[in-house]
Amino acid sequence: MPNILLTRIDNRLIHGQVAVTWSNHVGANLIVVANDEVAGDSIQQSLMDMAVSGMETRYFTIQETIDKIGLASEEQKIALIVKTPQDVLKLVKGGVPIRRVNIGNMHYSEGKEQLTSTVSVDEDDKKTFRELHELGVQLEIRRVPSEKGQNIISLI
């Protein structure tokens, strides 16, 4: 069973807030980015690695994450970072044991409704969050550890 301490939706993936604040808060020593695009882009990986100090990183596609996360050792304390709720749903349906999701950043764009200052959703996002909720996943909007979390289900 992989030791996943944090699963976070953040469309910026790795940046200072994730690399320092959240990882230290949960005690992670490995950041796994599950994203099909970044898994094949060494330039984006190098840029994200610049934000990380004293911690290992892995960049996997969604399918690689499903296939490999169960091979993690007990010593690997994992912060799992994804871009979208749809990615989380694929991971959960693929057997990754995710029980709680921290929703940090989902940028506003055309067709999205702003729920909080950092989280905007469209109808597909709402549908996906409801499905994750039905699968027993706790879904909390929380930008930084010191903030009080909000259950996204109560907002959609």
Closest CA to 31 of 42, 39, 21, 23: 23
15 is catalytic: yes
For residues 10 and 103, give the distance between their C-alpha atoms in angstroms, rounded to a whole number. Answer: 7
Q: What is the 3-state secondary structure (H, E, C) of 35-77?
A: CHHHHCCHHHHHHHHCCCCCCEEEEECHHHHHHHHHHCCCCCE
- DSSP, res 121: E
Q: Which of 15, 25, 107, 133 is catalytic?
A: 15
Q: Which two tokens stand for residue 143?
A: 């930008």
Tokens of 116: 């909080």
Catalytic residues: 15
